[in-house]
Amino acid sequence: MKSDKENNFIGLKLLSAFSIGCIGSGQMFLPIFYKKVLGLGNDKVGFIFSITPFVSFIAFPYWTSLVDKTGKYKETMIKNMLIALMCTLSIGFVPYLSETEWIRILLTSISCFGYAFFGYPVIAALVDTVILRVLANRKDLYGRQKIGVPIGFATSVFLTGFLTEKLDSLYALFIVFSIYCLSFVITVAVIDLEPHYQPIENIDDTYGSMSPTTDAASAAAVVIEDMDDGIRVTPDPSMWHLLQEPEAVRFFTFMTTMGFAIAVVQAFLYLFMENDLHASSSLVGLFGPLGSVTEIIVFFFFKQVLHRLGARRMLIVSQCIIVYRCITYVICVHISWGAYLATATQLLHGIGFSLAWSAAALQADQIAKVNLKSRAQGLLNMAFNGLGSGVGALVGGLIYEKWGATVMWAVVAVLASASIVLYTSDFVLRTIFLPISVFVKKHKK
């Protein structure tokens, strides 16, 4: 077993940096490409953006289950990201293939489907699965490995904004996306993905997470005896075994609402900056560095923050930040210096994201049995990046197109506030989430 000093895990930090760089250059700027280059309305932009989370709702459990069973982490991640690269680059050819709107939407949707099914599960789920796998029982070092996230996001957003203005073309996003995607593939190919610490089973819950009780864990491991030959077989538990505790049901529900809120920000914040606040591409490009400054600090001191606040409070603080940001965006529409205020507010993005995702990934890992670790990350991403994000992008686009940005941000603020009440209320836990968990238990025995 290697010491902490020997294990700097540079490769894991690079994985985080290059994977999030694909999102910073691709997913964050593509809505502007759809609007300005393809000439699509906000509702259609929301529809196309929602393809990724909705498709990944199916793709997450498929790929996480596959790597759980086969252990082929490298092969799966490399192959999927290369396919995702080709799908993303193909979007750039759409304006040259047709002038008809429905054909452009169809071709773009097909490309987004390919990216969502092959690439996005790697970025959003398998990277975390690999990091947690390598760390084994040293999950408290998780935050340090995610320091690459703000660095990758900052550099990708800044480079995309800078090149877009210098080249006077939104096609700069495809250049930056290709650089980060290929760098990710090379990193996966050369680093060691085997556990670096001795795995320890049945670790006590140190971080205020929701580890299953012994009874629940044993209940999930159903043993079936074949009466013909007397062989006792333990069936492979499904993802539904993760929902047999009311706290787990409440956690994944809360992450769905958080996914809704963050999806609206991801899909329409950059578009909102350019269309409603008339910000320049270079000003939008500052979003990456500003958000990453605070994100790096939180990730670096993640271990101390985790032990002081606990995962539960970290998630609540993160959702409160979303509420504050949305209220601020409403105010920005009505003041002359709104673009600068919105840009300064991006400092809170780093705090909110690092708190939310670090705490969520650890909680999902700790509520899962050993052979369900990857599937726990898959279910987390189904809730956060799948169902929540898909509905958020779709509904956000419809509201933006019909009633404008002010109403859109107000709706998100109200929903996020309500989700905090649901997450902290014992009454809701007893009346809603407990019956759901009991229902799952009965139908999975």
pTM, two decimals, is 0.73
CA neighbor of 188 nearest in space, from 439, 359, 17: 17
User: Distance between CA atoms of 363 and 210, rounded to whole angstroms?
Assistant: 7
Top mean pLDDT of 26-30, 72-76, 204-208 is at 72-76
Residue that wins the pLDDT comparison between 65 and 242? 65
Find tokens 């009505």 and name the residue: 334
pLDDT in tens, 30-48: 998 999 999 998 899 999 9
Q: What is the pLDDT of residue 7?
A: 53
pLDDT in tens, 307-349: 888 888 899 999 999 999 999 999 999 999 999 999 999 999 8
User: Distance between CA atoms of 302 and 305, rounded to whole angstroms?
Assistant: 5
Top mean pLDDT of 224-228, 291-295, 343-347 is at 343-347
CB 86 within 8 A of CB 415: no
Q: What is the pLDDT of residue 4?
A: 46
Share of the chain above pLDDT 70, in %: 86
Q: What is the pLDDT of residue 296?
A: 81
Query: Residues 153-173: what's their mean pLDDT?
Result: 90
What are the start-end ranges of the H helices in 3-100?
10-22, 30-36, 42-70, 73-91, 94-97
User: Distance between CA atoms of 361 and 383, rounded to whole angstroms?
Assistant: 12
CA neighbor of 220 nearest in space, from 441, 443, 407: 441
CA distance readout (Å), 78 to 19, 110, 180, 293, 416? 12, 21, 13, 30, 36
CATH class of 10-199+236-444: mainly alpha
Q: What is the pLDDT of residue 231?
A: 44
pLDDT in tens, 73-108: 999 999 999 999 999 999 999 999 999 999 999 999
Q: What is the pLDDT of residue 239?
A: 65
CB 308 within 8 A of CB 359: no
Average pLDDT over the chain reads: 83
User: Distance between CA atoms of 153 and 140, rounded to whole angstroms?
Assistant: 23
User: Distance between CA atoms of 187 and 130, rounded to whole angstroms?
Assistant: 13
Q: What is the pLDDT of residue 76?
A: 94
CB 356 within 8 A of CB 383: no
274: which residues sit within 8 A by CB, 6+ positions away? 32, 281, 284
CB 207 within 8 A of CB 310: yes
Q: What is the pLDDT of residue 24?
A: 86
pLDDT band (50, 70, 90) for residue 224? very low
User: Distance between CA atoms of 258 and 20, rounded to whole angstroms?
Assistant: 19
User: Distance between CA atoms of 406 and 402, rounded to whole angstroms?
Assistant: 11
pLDDT of 275 higher than 50: yes
CB 228 within 8 A of CB 411: no
Cα angle 432, 436, 441; round to 5: 150
User: Distance between CA atoms of 290 and 342, rounded to whole angstroms?
Assistant: 11
Element (H, E) at 225: strand 224-225
Find tokens 């189904």 and name the residue: 382
Element (H, E) at 104: helix 101-114
CB 376 within 8 A of CB 242: yes
pLDDT band (50, 70, 90) for residue 209? very low
Share of the chain above pLDDT 90, in %: 40
SS3 content of the chain, % helix, strand, coil (to 5): 80, 0, 20
CB 184 within 8 A of CB 81: yes
Element (H, E) at 233: strand 232-233
pLDDT in tens, 393-402: 999 999 999 9
Q: What is the pLDDT of residue 122?
A: 92
CA neighbor of 315 nearest in space, from 374, 358, 376, 379: 358
